[in-house]
Amino acid sequence: MPTRHDLTLLLLISACACAPVLAPSAWAEPLRPVSAHTAKRVELPMLPGLARGAQVAKPVPADGYAGSEACATCHEDKATSLASTQHGRAGNPRTPAATQGCESCHGPGKAHAEAGGGIGVGGIVNPSKLLPQRASETCTSCHDRGTHALWSGSQHDQRNVGCVTCHSVHAPKGERQIKAASQMELCGTCHKNIVNRQHRFTHMPVREGKVECTSCHNPHGSANVKLLRVGTTVDDSCTSCHSEKRGPHLWEHAPVANACVTCHNPHGSNNERLLEAKLPYLCQRCHVTSRHPPTVYDGFVMRNSQNANKIISRGCVNCHQQIHGSNAPSGQFFLR
């Protein structure tokens, strides 16, 4: 079944002079490198006159369209700002510049232009005045594949956070045309509690710029929980970078196989190693009933037995070094 987006897409395509080049399957897969296979598809018999890399012919405005040059006579600043971004690159056949120009996003504007322009005149569309979900449809007419395939109905889409909530087409401030100078600032406008955790004593190197919010999350939707970019579980996400912690191990430590976030807080913590609690308390959240070791409340045992050493320094992991699981034949207690 074609979705509404596909239909919009087809309409856009059929209204465009270079239509045959834009087979929907070759459309907008931003992050995936173009394979030799798809590259061939784009270039095959459709463009007999065009050599590889040649300039794509200027689109002829269709009915109801004025063409970008007409718009630029009154909105020169917008034309300039667009030209400085990827959307303005006519060499890429999928950009607005190579298709309907301004009108790829603002809709047919002949009536608006001929009436001399004006707010709301001629049915011209201003995406920032639309409901977020409607505005996003403008964008998903092109950006509906690859990293954006799961946008529709995703957490942000559902809660009225749209493409133009985070991105600006004409006046972006940060990389990837986001509206703030950095991701910390952008995401922090709504997720302040999370961003604040970055200032705790240990944290993922987000603050230093080595990892970004979007290293772990895909704000455009995902198949995992909590918009996590990779995999289908929290652990899949963590072990996509920390692969040495990935099981299966000969001896599994139950909570590790379950979820890294039982012990670590990925956004930051005031304990070593992003731990949710200090050692040995972290372990004692679960291992309190064990005969070994004592808790801090077992004052007598602590003072009078060799068990005292079990809660000093790095505590339990002084000995239980392979806390994430062991592959040693006798690694049952994660000592080796």
Placement of tokens 């322009």 in the chain: 117
Q: Among residues 85, 243, 248, which one has the least CA distance to residue 170?
A: 85
When the beta carbons of 40 and 278 are compared against ligand HEC, the nearer one is: 278
In whole angstroms, give the CA distance from residue 82 to residue 84: 5
Least distance to ligand HEC, CB of residue 43, Å: 16
Least distance to ligand HEC, CB of residue 210, Å: 5
When the beta carbons of 38 and 86 are compared against ligand HEC, the nearer one is: 86
When the beta carbons of 36 and 48 are compared against ligand HEC, the nearer one is: 36
Least distance to ligand HEC, CB of residue 49, Å: 23
When the beta carbons of 12 and 48 are compared against ligand HEC, the nearer one is: 12
DSSP per residue over 225-266, as a string?
Answer: GGGBSSSSSHHHHHHTT-GGG-S--SB--HHHHH-GGGTB-T
**Burial class of 105 by CB neighbour count within 10 A (0 to 12, 13 to 18, 19+):** buried
Least distance to ligand HEC, CB of residue 44, Å: 20
Could you tell me the end-to-end alpha-carbon distance of the chain, in angstroms, rounded to an integer? Answer: 55
Q: Among residues 261, 10, 32, 37, which one has the least CA distance to residue 145?
A: 32
Q: What residues are paired with 228 via a beta bridge?
A: 217
When the beta carbons of 48 and 291 are compared against ligand HEC, the nearer one is: 291
When the beta carbons of 50 and 281 are compared against ligand HEC, the nearer one is: 281
Residue environment code for 301-312, b if the CB has 16+ CB neighbours within 10 A, otherwise e = ebeeeeeeebbe
Q: Which residues contact 115 (CB under 8 A, 6 or more apart)?
A: 121, 122
When the beta carbons of 46 and 152 are compared against ligand HEC, the nearer one is: 152
Q: Dump strand ranges (E) for the chain.
A: none
Q: Which residues contact 10 (CB under 8 A, 6 or more apart)?
A: 2, 24
When the beta carbons of 21 and 220 are compared against ligand HEC, the nearer one is: 220
Least distance to ligand HEC, CB of residue 261, Å: 4
Query: Nearest residue to ligand HEC, using CB?
Result: 117
In whole angstroms, give the CA distance from residue 126 to residue 112: 12
Least distance to ligand HEC, CB of residue 48, Å: 24
Least distance to ligand HEC, CB of residue 41, Å: 16
Cα dist. 178→30, 131, 173 in Å?
Answer: 16, 19, 6
Least distance to ligand HEC, CB of residue 286, Å: 3
